[in-house]
Structure 1
Amino acid sequence: MSDILDLGGRVALVTGAGQGVGRQIALHLAAHTAAGVVVNDYVLERAEAVATEIRGQGGKAVALQADVTDLASVKAMVAKAEQELGPIGVLVNNAGNAGATPSADARKPFWETGPEAWNSFIGVNFYGVVNCTSACIPGMIARKAPGRIITVISEASRYGDSGLEVYAGAKAGAAGFMRATARTLGRFNITANCVAIAATVTPATEARLKADPERLKKMMNNYVIRRPGQPADIANMVLFLASDASSWITGQTYGVNGGFTFGL
């Protein structure tokens, strides 16, 4: 029986894949006949660890360092990836949060800060998506084969989380960019979709959630499924959107959020 989630030998690039959600996405794609997975992270050692994990499971992977906010760095990474594995057929824009080098003021009220703090969020969550997408599109078109672009956004962009105004705006911008990209690239058989996630257990959040069980319990009261998400929850949806099972889906945003929000 054929695997409906088979990736058809496409090469996949996952940004911010050195840990957490990105790591699990890379592992999922590698397990479903990706021709190879490019594991990107700002910290090369993290990327190398995940690439080694994939190779240990029989997959093919290469670890590449790049700052997604720097277009020249992104173009160099994509060129290196294509040289080693071939043209990118699946791009997963996963790098996010406040970026690799967040401003010390990133968590202050936005009206008490300025562009340096705002760019911690806008740089990685919006320009990072634009940079990586623009660098991969020429190769996808040249392949003359189905291409997939998936961007991981946040429910903050749809719900509007207090205290995360600039982050929410950057993620909403990425979603709008994906919708427009979907319209532009459909004629090339390239789809573009978003996955909107909510509270998820990652290395960055696990210790904080465990340290304050009451806060976690109060948070989960806002979720229909009363548990935080796991990286595999998000990776499952990304895998679906990367596969041919989603070949007639583009320009959409899917909430993988435990029922934190409902969308029509």
Structure 2
Amino acid sequence: MSDILDLNGKVTLITGAGQGVGRQIALHFAAHNAAGIVVNDYFLDRAEQVAREINAAGGKAIAVQADVTDLASVKAMVGKAEQAFGPIDVLVNNAGNAGATPDPDARKPFWETGPEVWNSFIGVNLYGVINCASACVPQMIERKGGRIVTIISDAGRAGEAGLEVYSGAKAGAAGFTRAVARSLGRHNITANCVAIAATLTPAIEARLKANPEMQKKMMEKYVIRRPGLPSDVANMVLFLASDASAWITGQTYPVNGGFTFAL
């Protein structure tokens, strides 16, 4: 039986892939015939560990350090990817949260902070997406095809009290991705978003383990009463990167255990 999720030798770039959801996306891609996987992270040692894991299992991966908030850094990363594997066919914008080095005031009310804190969210979640797309899209247009998948959050769909700037940045990334879908569809390039809720990344898992009562209260808001797993997200991203989704673009798919619903 053929694999409808086979990536058919596509070259893929996954940002923020040194741990958590990004790592699992990289492992999923490796298991479904990606020709080469560029594992990006702000911290090179994390990216190298994931690349070693993929290569040890018979896949092909390289680790590339880059700060997605810096366009020159992103362009250099894409150049290294092209030298190793060829032009990028699939871009997964996964890097997010408050960036690699969060400001200690990032959790304070936004009206008590200022641009130096706000930009930690806007930089990685919005500019990071724009930077990576701008570096990858010309190759996709030239090759007449490509996939762009952007990881956003239900905070960007429904809003999240206490995370106003983050919510706005994720909503901006979703709007940007929809506009990209309209611009690039004629080139056989699709662009979609995956909106996630509480998912067991290392940081979230540590917080929940430290406070079981908080986890119980949180899960009362979910129809499926468990946190998400990185594999839950990776399954949807793999689908959107594959030819099984060739006629889907400009959409946002919640992978959220029923935390919110979408029409």
TM-score w.r.t. structure 2 length? 0.99
Give the Cα–Cα distance (whole angstroms) in 1 for the partners of residues 124 and 42 of structure 2. 11
Shift of 1:156: 0.5
* 2:153 paired with 1:154: yes
AA at the equivalent of 1:210: K
AA at the equivalent of 1:129: V
Give the Cα–Cα distance (whole angstroms) in 2 for the partners of residues 130 and 209 of structure 1. 32
* 2:14 paired with 1:14: yes
Shift of 1:101: 1.7
Question: Mind listing any 5+ residue stretches in structure 2 that lack a counterpart?
Answer: none
> 2:143 matched to which residue of 1?
143
> 1:197 matched to which residue of 2?
196
AA at the equivalent of 1:90: V
Deviates more, 1:2-11 or 1:250-259: 2-11
> 1:177 matched to which residue of 2?
176
Shift of 1:8: 1.4
Give the Cα–Cα distance (whole angstroms) in 2 for the partners of residues 29 and 185 of structure 1. 23
Give the Cα–Cα distance (whole angstroms) in 1 for the partners of residues 32 and 141 of structure 2. 23
> 1:26 matched to which residue of 2?
26
Shift of 1:96: 0.1
The alignment's C-alpha RMSD in Å is 0.6
Length, aligned pairs only: 263
Shift of 1:72: 0.2
Q: Deviating runs (4+, > 6 A) in structure 1?
A: none
Shift of 1:221: 0.4
AA at the equivalent of 1:250: T
Give the Cα–Cα distance (whole angstroms) in 1 for the partners of residues 186 and 159 of structure 2. 33
**Matched residue SS, 2:258:** coil
**Matched residue SS, 1:49:** helix
Question: Mind listing any 5+ residue stretches in structure 1 that lack a counterpart?
Answer: none
Give the Cα–Cα distance (whole angstroms) in 1 for the partners of residues 254 and 34 of structure 2. 25
**Superimposed CA distance per residue, residues 242-263 of structure 1 (whole angstroms, 9 cap, x where no aligned partner):** 0000000000000000000001
**Superimposed CA distance per residue, residues 167-191 of structure 1 (whole angstroms, 9 cap, x where no aligned partner):** 0000000000000000000010000
Give the Cα–Cα distance (whole angstroms) in 2 for the partners of residues 117 and 18 of structure 1. 24
Query: Sequence identity of aligned pairs in percent?
Result: 79
Give the Cα–Cα distance (whole angstroms) in 2 for the partners of residues 252 and 207 of structure 1. 32
**Matched residue SS, 2:125:** helix
> 1:85 matched to which residue of 2?
85
**Superimposed CA distance per residue, residues 106-142 of structure 1 (whole angstroms, 9 cap, x where no aligned partner):** 1100000000000010000000000000000011112
Shift of 1:235: 0.2
**Matched residue SS, 2:92:** strand
Give the Cα–Cα distance (whole angstroms) in 2 for the partners of residues 85 and 48 of structure 1. 17
**Matched residue SS, 1:204:** helix
Shift of 1:241: 0.1
Give the Cα–Cα distance (whole angstroms) in 2 for the partners of residues 202 and 103 of structure 1. 19
> 1:58 matched to which residue of 2?
58
TM-score w.r.t. structure 1 length? 0.99
